Amino acid sequence: MDYHLQCISCGATYHKEEIRYVCDKCHDLLDVNINYAKSFSKIALPGIWKYRGLLPIDDESKIVSLQEGNTPSYECKNLAKELHIADSHVYVKNEGANPTGSFKDRGMTLGVTKALEYGAKKVGCASTGNTSASMAAYCAKAGIEATVFIPSGKIAFGKLAQALVYGASVYEVDGSFDDAMRTVEDMCKDSSKMYLLNSMNPFRLEGQKTIGFEIAEQIGAVDKVIVPVGNAANIAAIWKGFVEFKRYHMVKKLPQMIGVQAEGASPVAKFWQTGKFVPEEHPETIASAIRIGNPVNWKKTVRALKESGGKIFSVTDKEILEAQSLLASREGIFVEPASAASIAGLQKLVKSGEISKGEKVVCVTTGNGLKDPNAVVDQFKGKIKKASELKL
Ligand SMILES: [Zn+2]
CA 2 to ligand 1 center in whole angstroms: 21
Contact predicate 362/308, CB 8 Å: no
Check residue 32 and give its pLDDT: 97
CA 29 to ligand 1 center in whole angstroms: 7
Check residue 382 and give its pLDDT: 84
306 has pLDDT over 80: yes
As a three-state string, the secondary structure of 312-370 is EEEECHHHHHHHHHHHHHHHCCCECHHHHHHHHHHHHHHHCCCCCCCCEEEEEECEEHH
CA 213 to ligand 1 center in whole angstroms: 29
378 — pLDDT class (breaks 50, 70, 90): confident
CA 117 to ligand 1 center in whole angstroms: 25
Helix (H) / strand (E) containing 284: none
CA 377 to ligand 1 center in whole angstroms: 47
From the list 342, 348, 320, 345, the residue with the least C-alpha distance to 96 is 342
Check residue 157 and give its pLDDT: 83
Check residue 379 and give its pLDDT: 84
Q: What is the mean pLDDT of the chain?
A: 96
CA 96 to ligand 1 center in whole angstroms: 35
Contact predicate 215/351, CB 8 Å: no
CA distance 194 to 146: 9
CA 30 to ligand 1 center in whole angstroms: 8
Check residue 278 and give its pLDDT: 98
Contact predicate 318/290, CB 8 Å: no
pLDDT tens figures, 32-45:
999 999 999 999 99
CA 385 to ligand 1 center in whole angstroms: 60
Check residue 284 and give its pLDDT: 95
**Which of 173-187, 271-285, 298-312 is predicted least confidently?**
173-187
From the list 255, 238, 173, the residue with the least C-alpha distance to 199 is 238
Check residue 381 and give its pLDDT: 83
pLDDT tens figures, 219-237:
999 999 999 999 999 999 9
How many other C-beta atoms can be found within 10 angstroms of the C-beta atom of residue 40? Answer: 16
297 has pLDDT over 80: yes
One-letter amino acid of 281: E
CA 245 to ligand 1 center in whole angstroms: 27
Strands 89-94 and 145-151, sheet pairing: unpaired
CA 4 to ligand 1 center in whole angstroms: 14
> Which of 3.40.50.1100, 3.20.20.150, 1.10.10.410, 3.40.50.620 would CATH assign to domain 73-99+204-378?
3.40.50.1100
CA 181 to ligand 1 center in whole angstroms: 21
CA 185 to ligand 1 center in whole angstroms: 18
CA distance 207 to 66: 13
* Mean pLDDT of the region 259-267: 98
191 — pLDDT class (breaks 50, 70, 90): confident
Would you state the torsion angle of the CA atoms of residues 315, 266, 303, 188, taken in this order, to the nearest 10 degrees? -130
Helix (H) / strand (E) containing 92: strand 89-94
Would you state the torsion angle of the CA atoms of residues 279, 335, 312, 30, taken in this order, to the nearest 10 degrees? 60
Half-sphere exposure of residue 239: CA atoms within 13 angstroms, side-chain side: 24
What is the spatial order of strands in the sheet that 30-34 belongs to?
13-14, 3-7, 30-34
CA distance 124 to 192: 12
Would you state the torsion angle of the CA atoms of residues 86, 103, 345, 262, taken in this order, to the nearest 10 degrees? 160
What percent of the chain lies above the pLDDT cut of 90?
90
CA 20 to ligand 1 center in whole angstroms: 12
CA distance 51 to 53: 5
CA 6 to ligand 1 center in whole angstroms: 8
pTM here is: 0.96
CA 190 to ligand 1 center in whole angstroms: 20
Q: Provide the residue ranges of all domains of the chain, joining segments of one domain with +.
A: 1-35, 73-99+204-378
pLDDT tens figures, 147-174:
999 988 878 888 999 999 999 999 999 9
Q: Which residues contact 189 (CB under 8 A, 6 or more apart)?
A: none
CA 9 to ligand 1 center in whole angstroms: 5
Check residue 218 and give its pLDDT: 98
CA 22 to ligand 1 center in whole angstroms: 8
Check residue 20 and give its pLDDT: 93
Check residue 199 and give its pLDDT: 87
374 has pLDDT over 90: no
* Mean pLDDT of the region 191-216: 95
Check residue 219 and give its pLDDT: 98
From the list 56, 63, 51, 70, the residue with the least C-alpha distance to 248 is 51
CA distance 300 to 232: 8
CA distance 45 to 50: 5
CA 15 to ligand 1 center in whole angstroms: 14
* Mean pLDDT of the region 359-387: 91
